[in-house]
Amino acid sequence: MPRSLQEKSKLLLLGAGESGKSTVVKQMTIIHKSGYNEDSRKKFINVIINNAIVSLTNITQAMNAITPNVEFGDPARKADVEKLLAVDLLDTTATQLPDGAPDVMKRLWLMKEFRSASSVLTNTNLWILQSIT
């Protein structure tokens, strides 16, 4: 190993309470040292599933706010939206998307109307949705 990688460095993080100092340390450890273990990954599956569904739901709501009773080019997409809105987001034990949900999400995300309304999303949620296609 090169000498520079073997040397230890110290980092002083300054900031007000609740400003994210501990989070930075945890993220640096995850990224540069150990990564996530299997248990940690399993704990985040539900969060990612809910974020993806909530993101598409937010887009749907934004589309309706801009153009009430938005018309979809394909009537089957309206049924897809209804399926998506029926998903139980309170199920904190879910480790996979409900049957058919990945296909519904992909079809909706591939619609230009959905992608053009994606400005209502955070960067993380946008990345999750872009990853499903």
Question: What's the maximum distance between 2 C-alpha atoms anywhere in the chain?
Answer: 64
The pLDDT tens digits for 64-74 are 776 666 667 77
Q: Is the pLDDT of residue 100 over 70?
A: yes
pLDDT confidence bin for 89, thresholds 50/70/90:
low
Q: Per the structure block, which two tokens stand in for 8?
A: 């230890």
Distance CA 127, CA 97 (A): 17
Per-residue model confidence (pLDDT) at position 70: 66
Neighbours of 87 (CB within 10 A): 20
The tokens describing 46, both together, are: 């539900």
Q: What is the pLDDT of residue 90?
A: 60
What are the DSSP E strand ranges found in the chain? none
Angle formed at CA 58 by CA 76 and CA 43, multiple of 5 degrees: 105
